[in-house]
Chains A and B, each alone.
Chain A
C-alpha cells in the first residue's frame, strides 16, 4: 500500500492495478510526443514534422487518401495485410511440420542445422532485392515476410519438441502408444505453447519486413510504397503519418498474437512460456 496525492493504492485490487498502469502508459506516451515535438522544433527541418503536422497529414490521409496517386489508405493497408498474411501462412505451413520433424529426429536435426545456421543470421530484408527483382514483385514481398517469420518460428518449434518432458513420453509408451502415436499425441501437443511463442515473435518480425519489402515493389501499392512515395516527394508529414499507421497495425497484430498465445496455452493447461 502506498498513498499518492491522498489516493491509497492497493496492489491487490485489480482496478487499482489497471488504473496505475493506465496512468503510466499515458504519461509515457505524452512524454514521447513532447520529446518528438521538442526535437522537431530544435532541428527546425522540414524532414522532421511536428506531431501536430503529422496528425493533420494522418487525418487528411484517412479522409482523402493519397494526394499523389488518389488511392485510399485502405487500399494500401489491405494490400500490405494481404502480403503479410500470405507470408505468415506460408511460414506456418513450412516451419511447423519441419520443426516437428527436426526436433524429433536427431539425424534430420544434424542434417538440417548447418543449413539453418548459415541462413538464419541473414537479415530477411537482405533478401528483398533478390526475391523481388529476380523472382517477381507479387511473390517477392511474400517471400521476405516468409523468411522473417520462418526462422524464429522454426527454432521455437524445434526447441519445443526438444524440451518435452521425457516422463510424458515414457508414460505414453508404457500405456501402449506406438512411435507415431507418441509423436502426434504427446510431442505435438507438448510443443504447442512453443509454437505459439514462435508465431508471436515471427508476427512482429514479419511486420518489420513487409514495409522494407514493399519499398522494392511499388506495383503492390502497400503502405511501405506510400511511405517511400511521400518521402521521395518531400511530403514529410505524410511519410510520418505512414509510420504511425505502420506502428498501429503492428501493435494490433502483436497484441492479437499475444492474446491467442495466452488463450491457447491456458486452454491446454500449460504454463505460459
Chain B
C-alpha cells in the first residue's frame, strides 16, 4: 500500500480561505473559519476534531452538497460547486435505498449515468465481491447487518470509479468489533486502488490506524490546529509504542479543545 499511495504526489484538491456561516433568522453560526488545506492525489487524509466542530460541513462542501459562504474548493482546478459522480460519498447512516436490492443499490450510479445494463451487472458484481458481499447480491437492505450495509455503501461509491471518496464517519454507527474489522478491510480494499480519500472521524484510534495524514481541527469555528504525517506501513499495530504515543498526542491536543466525547 505504501508504494501505491505516494505521499510525494501532486496536489489534487485545494481548499482556500474557506468560510461557512449558517444564518437563521435569530442567529449566525460560524462553522468554518479561514480554512486552507491542500490534499494530494492518492492520499488518505483524516479529519478529526471535537464533535460539532464543522467536519461534516467541510465534507459536504467538498461533495458539492453545501455552498461555502466564501472561499473556494477545487479538484484539479475545477470548482466543486455541484455534486457529481467524481466524488463518491459514504454516509454514517449508510443512506442506502431500502426498496432496492444490494445489487440495485450498487448499480444506481451507473444507472443514472447511462451505463449499459450488462456492464452495470458485471461491475456491480465485481465490486460486491471486492467488499465480500457476493452471497448477498440479491438481498434486501433491511436483511443486512450494519457492517454489511456499510460495505454496500462503500461498493456503491467505488463502483462509479470516483477520483475522490468522501467518508463521513463511515464506521460511526457500528459496534467496536465490527468497526475494527471494517477498518482492516478498508485498508485492504484501498490497497487495490489509488483513490484520494477524505475520511471524517471522531475516533483518533481509527484515524491513526488508517491515515497517511491527519488534520486535527479546533472546536467550532473549525480551524486547523495541526497536520500530522504518518509515513508508517500498513497494516498498523495498534499496540506499538509509536502508535500509542501518536494517539496520546492527538488526544491531548483535542483534550485542550475540551469537548472531546470519544
Interface residues of A (CB under 8 A from B): 165, 167-168, 170-178, 181, 185-186, 189-190, 192, 268-270
Residue-wise interface mask of B (150-187) relative to A, using a CB-CB cutoff of 8 A (1 in contact, 0 not): 00000010001000001000000000000000000000
Q: Which residues of B contact A190 (CB under 8 A)?
A: 99
CB <8 Å contact, B112 and A170:
no
Complex alpha-carbon distance, A168 and B97, angstroms: 7
Interface residues of B (CB under 8 A from A): 60, 63-65, 83-85, 87-89, 91, 93, 95-100, 108-109, 111-113, 140-142, 156, 160, 166
CB <8 Å contact, A167 and B95:
yes
Q: Which residues of A contact B87 (CB under 8 A)?
A: 174
Complex alpha-carbon distance, A189 and B104, angstroms: 14
CB <8 Å contact, A269 and B140:
yes
Can you offer 9 A-B residue contacts whose CB atoms are under 8 A?
A171-B89, A171-B96, A174-B65, A174-B85, A175-B112, A178-B112, A190-B99, A268-B98, A269-B142
CB <8 Å contact, B95 and A175:
no
CB <8 Å contact, B99 and A269:
yes
Tell which of B63, B97, B99 touches A174, judged by Cβ atoms closer than 8 Å: B63
CB <8 Å contact, A175 and B98:
no
Tell which of B85, B93, B99, B112 touches A167, judged by Cβ atoms closer than 8 Å: B93
Complex alpha-carbon distance, A168 and B99, angstroms: 12
Tell which of A168, A185, A268, A270 touches B112, judged by Cβ atoms closer than 8 Å: A185
Q: Which residues of B contact A176 (CB under 8 A)?
A: 84-85, 109, 112-113, 160
CB <8 Å contact, B97 and A170:
no
Q: Which residues of A contact B60 (CB under 8 A)?
A: 170
CB <8 Å contact, A270 and B85:
no
Complex alpha-carbon distance, A172 and B96, angstroms: 9
Interface centre among B60, B63, B88, B112, by most A CB within 10 Å? B112
